[in-house]
Amino acid sequence: MMTSLDGKIMGNYMNHPAAAEAGEAFYRIAFGEKPYYRHQGWLSGRVTTDDNFTFYEKPALEENALPVPDGDFAAQPDFGMYYVSIDPAGRLGWKDAVLHYETTTAHVIEVLTARASNTYKSFLRRLGISYIIAGEETLDATLALQKLRALFHINTLMLGGGAVLNWSFIQAGLCDEVSVVIAPCADGSASAQTLFMEKPGISDDTAAGFTLLEAKSLPGSAVWLRYKVERQGIPQG
Ligand SMILES: NC(=O)c1ccc[n+]([C@@H]2O[C@H](COP(=O)([O-])OP(=O)(O)OC[C@H]3O[C@@H](n4cnc5c(N)ncnc54)[C@H](OP(=O)(O)O)[C@@H]3O)[C@@H](O)[C@H]2O)c1
């Protein structure tokens, strides 16, 4: 994740010239030619996907769609790089099964619950978008990770934000390491999301602790911090 000095993950600070080098460092570390993390995909919350890729468009559902087969749909089990989106109710208005993020190309996997409708799953199949079902009413994050490994060979998954997703996985004991590039700017926003945020029904404000693994100065007055997530007080993932 990239944050401002005041811990925001989005907002005006991103357009300040002082954020540029931190933004480049963030991309280099996570996705560059020689990335620090060798992951097979990154995970995003529904709001992050809407803000960056699907832009709050409604999915093109066909109300008379035939029933889809039960279970998961692995359209591209060997693509190698995946964009995995948590979308419990099946809301995202995708247009394509492949997305491009700067120099990175990824196949889309939707993580649904049993709340997602037949018409939505049929819509995903039409576009060739993979999906897995993890949980009935609420997300079963452990099951989601097991299925991502078994069906798509995702052994290392980058928790890519936003705030609600990040905190929920930390509280569930499913995050090993926090890695954050801090940009040397701030905007003082009182409403922008911060690095971690609880959401009723998904997570709460029980505190978690972290142990510093590395602190590095980067060009342009940015800082890169890596922390191990301490498991004390949170369940084992
Ligand atoms: N600076 C950075 O590095 C960075 C990186 C990524 C994102 N961002 C920014 O972060 C902002 C969004 O953050 P956000 O915290 O508002 O939203 P978010 O975490 O992206 O999405 C939250 C939504 O995702 C679903 N979700 C996530 N975790 C879940 C869980 N454990 N169980 C069930 N559902 C879960 C829910 O969807 P439903 O509401 O559909 O139930 C939830 O409301 C965006 O503006 C984005 O651009 C910044």
**DSSP 8-state class, residue 14:** G
DSSP 54: I
End-to-end CA distance of the chain: 21
Q: Which residues does a 6 A CB cutoff place in the pocket of ligand 1?
A: 1-2, 9-10, 44-48, 51-52, 86-89, 91, 139, 141, 160-165, 168, 193, 197, 202
Phi and psi for 107 in degrees, rounded to 5? Answer: -90, 140
| pLDDT tens, per residue, the chain with 237 residues | 999 999 999 999 999 999 999 999 999 999 999 999 999 999 999 999 999 999 999 999 999 999 999 999 999 999 999 999 999 999 999 999 999 999 999 999 999 999 999 999 999 999 999 999 999 999 999 999 999 999 999 999 999 999 999 999 999 999 999 999 999 999 999 999 999 999 999 999 999 999 999 999 999 999 999 999 998 766 554
pLDDT score, position 58: 98
Q: How far is the CA of 45 from the centre of ligand 1 (A)?
A: 3
Residue among 165, 174, 179, 198 whose CB has most ligand 1 atoms within 8 A, to mutate:
165
- Interval between CA 174 and ligand 1 midpoint (Å): 16
Residue nearest ligand 1's atom 7 by CA = 162
Element (H, E) at 107: strand 104-112
Question: Residue 60: what pLDDT?
Answer: 98
Q: What is the pLDDT of residue 235?
A: 58
- Smallest Cα–Cα separation from 188: which of 51, 2, 11, 1? 11
Measured between alpha carbons, how far is 179 from 200 in angstroms, rounded to an integer?
25
Q: Are strands 177-182 and 222-229 parallel, antiparallel or unpaired?
A: antiparallel
pLDDT at 31: 96
User: Which residue has the CA at smallest separation from atom 14 of ligand 1?
Assistant: 162
Phi and psi of 156, rounded to 5°? -125, 120
Residue with tokens 């280099």: 28
CA–CA separation, 3 vs 1, rounded Å? Answer: 6
SS (H, E, C) 166-180: HHHHHHCCCCCEEEE
Q: Which of 205-221 are b and which e, b meaning 16 or more Cβ less than 10 Å from the residue's Cβ?
A: eeebeeeeeeeeebebe
* pLDDT given at position 177: 97
Do 185 and 19 contact (CB within 8 A), yes or no?
yes
pLDDT tens digits for range 18-41: 999 999 999 999 999 999 999 999
* pLDDT score, position 48: 98
Residue whose CA is at the smallest distance from ligand 1 atom 8: 162
Q: Quick one: which atom of ligand 1 is closest to the CA of 44?
A: 20
Q: pLDDT of 201-227, one tens digit each?
A: 999 999 999 999 999 999 999 999 999
**Residue minimizing CA distance to atom 46 of ligand 1:** 48
